[in-house]
Structures are given as C-alpha cells and as structure tokens.
Amino acid sequence: MSLSFQYPRLTKDNYDSWSIRVKAILGSQGAWEIVSDGFVEPDEDAALILIQKFEKDKKKDQHALSIIHQCLDDAVFEKVANASTSKEAWGILENSHKGVDKVKKVRLQILRGEFEALHQEASESISDYFTRVLSIVNQMKRNGESIEDVRVIEKILRSLHQKFDHVVVAIEENRDLENLSIDELNGSLRVHEERMNKHKKEPLEQVLLVKHSSAERGSAISRGRGRGQGRGYSHGGSRGHDRNQEVKRVDDEKPRGNP
C-alpha cells in the first residue's frame, strides 16, 4: 500500500516554518548540501572521475529542484521558473520572502518588542503560555538572534500571572537558573498548576454537596407535611360522617304527631 506524501506549500506568511520543513525533506533525500553549496561544472580537460561526480551532482540538484517546485503554488513558482539550479531557486525564495539583512533587522526588532511585552493571561494555562513564548523565541533565532535558555527562563518567571508568585519565589531561591532547562521549568510549573486547580476544585465540590444535602432534607420535610395533612383531613371527614349518623338516629326516635 503506497502513501501519498503531502509537501508543505509556501505562502506569504509561513516562510520560516516552510523552509525548516523543506530543508528536512531535502536532507532526508541527501540533497540539501547541493542546494546550500551548489556544484561546479568541470571544464573540458577535467578527469573522468570529476565528470562522473558532476553528472551525479547534477542529477541530485535536479531532484532537489523538483522537490522545491512541488512545494510552491503556481503564483510563487513563476518567481523561480527560470532558475536552473536548486541553489539559485532557493536563494530567490529566501530573498523574496525573508528579505535582505535590513528587512531582517527590522523584523527582529519587532520580535524583540513582542518578546519583552509577553505576559501570561489570567485564564491562560502554563502549557499555552510556553507555546506562545517559544513561538516568538524560535522566530527570533531564525532571524539571527542569539538567545540563551536562561534569558527565556528569566522572562517567563517575570511574566507569569501573580497567582504563581509563591512558586516563582520558590524556584528562584532553590534552583540554579543557569543550569535549569526550559523543559524542566515547564514541567515544574505544570505540577504546581495542577495542584492549584485541584485545591480550587475541592471547595466547589463541597459546596455542591452541601446544597444537594439541603435540597434532599427540604424535600423530605415537604413530603412529611403532605402525609400529615392527608391524615388530618381523613380523620375530620370520618368524625363528620359519625355525627350525621347520630343526628339521624335521634330524629328517627322522636314520636311522630297525628296528622
């Protein structure tokens, strides 16, 4: 059974993630080196071994170029339609989407501002916040920023919601941030988050249990009153019936006068 492979498509907004995925695909085919370094065409007097190597590299290059073509839609393909090598096509795409150094610097400044402005929302989970932080960090790295893990860790600890203040103090006092990994911090904070959610959930369950018990007691009292009222009406009705019978007997026993 053969499975069809879906190549990632380049759009105007996804070049960074697209390039990472396509590099991995080209690498798995042993073709990324030819894309990044290119190859040199031998002169007429080159030895046979060099000519054979060139032919092999040329074939690998065309294979890489065909993979790049499959990752483009018709509009983007027009930009590289005249490129004869994979290196040339890759350079065109990189320059048109990622921009020259000046554009990269401007984009990096924007990302730095977004990084510094990061703060966890009150309803945002630790997992979601880490995803948001690391997304910006990865974009900064792809645009040339050298950012160490300890800087990311310090930023996360500074920007957590105030409900984690006691946890942050404990981590800063008891852990060496220089030797703490981002994954370890993530795991530690998620454990504390689960405990906090559990403590928050238990009082709510107790309140619901008390309300349920009160409702059951109220229902039982109402049923008891209903049964008592039923018995009272029954006895009253029986006594009224007996009195009517007694009056009737007295009337029957009275002497009747002459007509």
Domain boundaries, the chain: 15-97, 101-196
- If you average pLDDT over residues 145-168, what whole number do you get? 95
Say which residue the tokens 């007509």 belong to: 259
Residue 1 has pLDDT above 50, yes or no: no
- Angle at alpha carbon of residue 73, lines to 2 and 75, rounded to 5°: 165
Q: What is the pLDDT of residue 128?
A: 96
Q: What is the pLDDT of residue 135?
A: 95
Q: How many CB atoms sit inside 10 A of residue 50's CB?
A: 13
Residue 3 has pLDDT above 50, yes or no: no
Assigned token pair, 27? 């690498």
- Angle at alpha carbon of residue 238, lines to 234 and 241, rounded to 5°: 140
Using an 8 Å Cβ cutoff, are 137 and 115 in contact? yes
pTM above 0.85, yes or no: no
Report d(CA 169, CA 153) in Å as an integer. 13
pLDDT digits (tens, 9 = 90+) for 203-244: 555 655 666 566 666 665 666 665 555 554 444 455 555 555
pLDDT digits (tens, 9 = 90+) for 64-82: 999 999 999 999 999 999 9
Q: How far is CA 112 from CA 103, 106, 147, 155, 259, in A?
A: 14, 10, 11, 12, 124
At residue 5, what is the residue type? F
Report d(CA 15, CA 104) in Å as an integer. 13
